[in-house]
């Protein structure tokens, strides 16, 4: 009977210890959208996007004009084959330039977004960690799709125990 009582006490104390582990969650994307800085960032990104849209529209118009000119002369026997080849090459070059510009625009926009968001993300992450520590949370999960743990109390890290069991230093 004493053994059962001791085992029951151990089991109950284990559950009590586990019950003290607090896990929280937050949707960091929603939080970011609520911050006052988010509007300024969106406006700056919109300006960059509009600039690239203008540049791409100009290049597209130029390519269409050259293409239309090529279509007019392509079937004319009075135009030499070498001239047709030159015009065809010009159109192909413009198409290639347009594709390169599109890639550059996407890359530029992504870099600008990361540049503007990084300080804000760091601020949010730091604040979440501070709130988690102050309120005794062991873990904070991000409910934003594709995200994971934002904060974890290092005292719950199993790495040292697993390494020791595996004999890894």
pLDDT mean across residues, the chain: 84
Q: Interior CA angle at 11 toward 8 and 17, to 5°? A: 140
SS (H, E, C) the chain: CHHHHHHHHHHHHHHHHHHCCEEEEECHHHHHHHCHHHHHHHHHHHHHHHHHHHHHHHHHHHHHHHHHHHHHHHCCCCCCHHHHHHHHHHHHHHHHHHHHHHHHHHHHHHHHHHHHHHHHHHHHHHHHHHHHHHCCEEEEEECCCCCCEEEECHHHCCHHHHHHHHCCC
Q: Is residue 4 part of a domain?
A: no
pLDDT score, position 98? 95
pLDDT at 124: 87
pLDDT (0 to 100) of residue 22: 85
Q: Is residue 118 part of a domain?
A: yes
Among the listed residues 31, 52, 46, the one whose alpha carbon sits nearest the alpha carbon of residue 106: 52
Our count of domains for the chain comes to 1
Report residue 19's pLDDT band, with 50, 70 and 90 as the boundaries. Answer: low
pLDDT tier, 2 (very low <50, low <70, confident <90, very high otherwise)? low
**Domain presence at residue 9:** no
Report the candidate in 108, 109, 156, 115 with the shortest Cα–Cα distance to residue 132. Answer: 156
Q: pLDDT tens digits, residue range 57-89?
A: 999 999 999 999 888 888 888 888 888 899 899
11 inside domain: no
* 146 inside domain: yes
Token couple for 30:
């929603």
Q: Which domain holds residue 97?
A: 19-166
Q: Closest Cα to residue 103, out of 65, 59, 43, 38?
A: 59
Q: Span 77-102, mean pLDDT?
A: 91
Residue 5 is predicted with a pLDDT of 44
Residue 7: inside a domain: no
In this structure, is residue 55 part of a structural domain?
yes
Residue 147 lies in a domain: yes
């Amino acid at each position: 009977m004493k053994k059962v009582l001791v085992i029951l006490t151990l089991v109950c104390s284990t559950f009590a210890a586990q019950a003290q582990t607090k896990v929280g969650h937050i949707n960091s994307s929603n939080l970011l959208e609520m911050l006052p800085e988010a509007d300024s960032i969106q406006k700056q990104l919109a300006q960059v996007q509009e600039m690239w849209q203008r540049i791409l529209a100009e290049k597209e118009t130029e390519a269409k004009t050259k293409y239309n000119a090529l279509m007019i002369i392509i079937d004319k026997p009075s135009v030499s084959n070498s001239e047709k080849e030159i015009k065809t090459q010009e159109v192909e070059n413009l198409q290639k330039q347009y594709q390169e510009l599109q890639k550059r625009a996407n890359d530029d926009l992504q870099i600008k977004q990361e540049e503007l968001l990084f300080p804000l993300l760091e601020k949010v992450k730091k604040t979440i960690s501070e709130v988690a520590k102050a309120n005794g949370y062991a873990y904070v999960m991000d409910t934003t799709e594709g995200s994971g743990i934002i904060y974890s109390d290092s005292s719950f890290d199993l790495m040292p125990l697993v390494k020791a069991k595996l004999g890894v230093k």
